[in-house]
Amino acid sequence: AQTVTQSQPEMSVQEAETVTLSCTYDTSENNYYLFWYKQPPSRQMILVIRQEAYKQQNATENRFSVNFQKAAKSFSLKISDSQLGDTAMYFCAFMKHRGNTPLVFGKGTRLSVIA
């Protein structure tokens, strides 16, 4: 079975600064997907970024980028130029490559952006 570990329950960052959220996972699969989801107080789960394990290039989406280390089974999220609207719970998630399979989530990191 797959497991996802987020070791930082809470983090804070000053507005306009950069913050990195950590995620490690355990799997015997060779091909899979990794995701970061954001859940603001509205509780809507918002997909932030997606990484395919067979791609070595790290995914980027505007101010969000990942550092994917497949051998280390590490998948960290970097948020640059943090904004107040980035305040939310962030969940790291794993999905098998077979498609249409459910997500396995980490426990989440609560990020607060401070003005």
Which stretches of the chain bind other proteins, using CB under 8 A? 33, 35, 37, 42-45, 47, 50, 91, 95, 97, 99-108
As measured in angstroms, the least distance from the Cβ of 3 to other proteins is 12
Strand 109-114 vs strand 74-79: parallel, antiparallel, or unpaired? Answer: unpaired
| Residue number, 17 or 26, with CB nearest to other proteins | 26
As measured in angstroms, the least distance from the Cβ of 91 to other proteins is 6
Rounded Cα distance between 36 and 98, Å, is: 19
Residue 25 · residue 91 · CB < 8 Å: no
Rounded Cα distance between 3 and 6, Å, is: 10
As measured in angstroms, the least distance from the Cβ of 102 to other proteins is 5
